């Protein structure tokens, strides 16, 4: 089969990621083999190629979002059969510890992000891939492979942030930072699904317009020095109930200041830096909640897929690249040229 493989690390994906012919994976008794029709890009693809912030198993196939058709099932598999349309759940956990059996597989001490920390040669950028039965979700017929791949990890992550962790409810004002990112574009739609007022941020006029199309009530440019003041003006100087955060150091203190009394900031990333500053007086005087969040449950992914099938959530797909051009997608991510999600088609060169 064809697969996008790299065997050494580099700051330039074009130097190391090559389309190779390798063997089709052999499945275990509890696994399914999937013909990959669509695979979506994530920033962890670049981390894997760079070898930073962690090393990954080599040789490596990246890709944490795969949608396609089941072509083989292991003898212990009971919930799937050949021909089923499926999407990957990228949170690989032990499924046995107290955290996992209590529904917190995202906190499992043995948790790995599939297609990033797994391997060798175990990810979505291949004609065929394999996953444990517990890490696969069925797709309704009206959800395309492209949409499923584009929404799977970012949708699950966004749902977990807003619903699982921040516990949003109707009437709240939610600030979605980076509204045209993968998680941000879904975060806007989830907050609107819960009848919240949404203020989104973006870094250009084009991206701001996309936020409006996704449903944001108000949009500000977070690259402008007075962006936080504009957010406060939109709330009649009351502040926001929830901040959906993944940008990090450059905006963190302003986000905390924007929270109402008892407000919640939930974060899943720090693309501008991890060493953010915090004035603790805001934390204790305002009774704030600062929450971390990563990945999500299979049940949360199923919830997102349900709402996609009902037309209430729609991933914003920047482009679909044929597999022969898939490395271009890594370069586009590096150059910050993507709005929403980028997808490739491993079964189509």
pLDDT of residue 247: 85
Q: How confident is the model at residue 25 (pLDDT cuts 50, 70, 90)?
A: very high
pLDDT of residue 276: 87
pLDDT of residue 337: 87
**Which tens digit of pLDDT belongs to each residue from 110-123?**
999 999 999 999 99
Identify the CATH number of the domain defined by range 2-139+316-345: 3.90.180.10
pLDDT of residue 142: 97
Domain ranges of the chain: 2-139+316-345, 156-292
When the pLDDT of each residue in the chain is averaged and rounded to a whole number, the result is 95
Per-residue pLDDT averaged across 281-290, rounded? 93
pLDDT of residue 42: 94
pLDDT of residue 349: 78
pLDDT of residue 28: 97
Q: How confident is the model at residue 29 (pLDDT cuts 50, 70, 90)?
A: very high
pLDDT of residue 19: 96
**Which tens digit of pLDDT belongs to each residue from 226-285?**
999 999 999 999 999 999 999 888 888 999 999 999 999 999 988 788 888 888 998 999
**Which tens digit of pLDDT belongs to each residue from 147-157?**
999 999 999 99
Domain 156-292: give its CATH architecture.
Alpha-Beta Complex (3.90)
pLDDT of residue 249: 82
User: One fold for both 2-139+316-345 and 156-292?
Assistant: yes
Phi, psi torsion values for 99, nearest 5 degrees = -65, -45
**Which tens digit of pLDDT belongs to each residue from 154-206?**
999 999 999 999 999 999 999 999 999 999 999 999 999 999 999 999 999 99
Q: How confident is the model at residue 135 (pLDDT cuts 50, 70, 90)?
A: very high
pTM comes to 0.94
**Which tens digit of pLDDT belongs to each residue from 58-109?**
999 999 999 999 999 999 999 999 999 999 999 999 999 999 999 999 999 9
Per-residue pLDDT averaged across 134-146, rounded? 97
pLDDT of residue 59: 97
Q: How confident is the model at residue 348 (pLDDT cuts 50, 70, 90)?
A: confident
53 or 227, which is more confident?
227
Taking a C-beta distance cutoff of 8 angstroms, is the pair 100, 94 a contact? yes
């Amino acid at each position: 089969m064809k697969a996008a493989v790299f065997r050494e690390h580099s700051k330039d994906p074009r130097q190391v990621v090559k389309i190779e012919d390798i063997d089709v994976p052999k499945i275990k008794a509890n696994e399914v083999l999937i013909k990959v029709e669509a695979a979506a890009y994530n920033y962890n693809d670049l981390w894997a190629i760079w070898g930073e912030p962690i090393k990954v198993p080599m040789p490596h196939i990246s890709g944490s979002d795969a949608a396609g058709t089941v072509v083989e099932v292991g003898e212990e598999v009971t919930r799937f059969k050949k021909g089923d349309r499926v999407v990957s759940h990228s949170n690989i956990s032990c499924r046995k510890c107290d955290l996992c059996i209590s529904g917190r597989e995202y906190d499992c001490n043995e948790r790995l992000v599939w297609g990033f920390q797994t391997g060798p040669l175990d990810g979505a950028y291949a004609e065929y891939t394999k996953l444990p039965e517990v890490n696969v979700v069925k797709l309704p017929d009206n959800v395309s492979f492209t949409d499923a791949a584009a929404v799977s990890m970012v949708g699950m992550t966004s749902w977990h942030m807003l619903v699982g962790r921040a516990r949003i409810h109707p009437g709240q004002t939610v600030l979605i930072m980076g509204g045209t990112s993968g998680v941000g574009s879904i975060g806007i739609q989830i907050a609107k699904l819960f009848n919240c007022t949404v203020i989104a941020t973006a870094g250009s006029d084009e991206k701001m317009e996309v936020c409006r199309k996704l449903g944001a009530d108000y949009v500000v440019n977070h690259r402008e020095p007075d962006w936080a003041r504009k957010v406060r003006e939109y709330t009649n100087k009351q502040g926001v109930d929830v901040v959906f955060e993944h940008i990090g150091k450059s905006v963190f203190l302003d986000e905390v200041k924007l929270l109402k009394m008892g407000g919640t900031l939930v974060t899943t990333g720090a693309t501008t830096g991890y060493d953010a500053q915090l004035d603790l007086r805001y934390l204790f005087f305002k009774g704030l909640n600062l929450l971390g969040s990563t990945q999500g449950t299979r049940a949360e992914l199923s919830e997102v897929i349900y709402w996609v099938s009902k037309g209430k959530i729609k991933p914003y797909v920047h482009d679909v690249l044929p597999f022969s051009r898939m490395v271009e997608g890594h370069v586009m991510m590096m150059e910050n040229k993507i709005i929403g999600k980028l997808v490739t088609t491993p079964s189509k060169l």
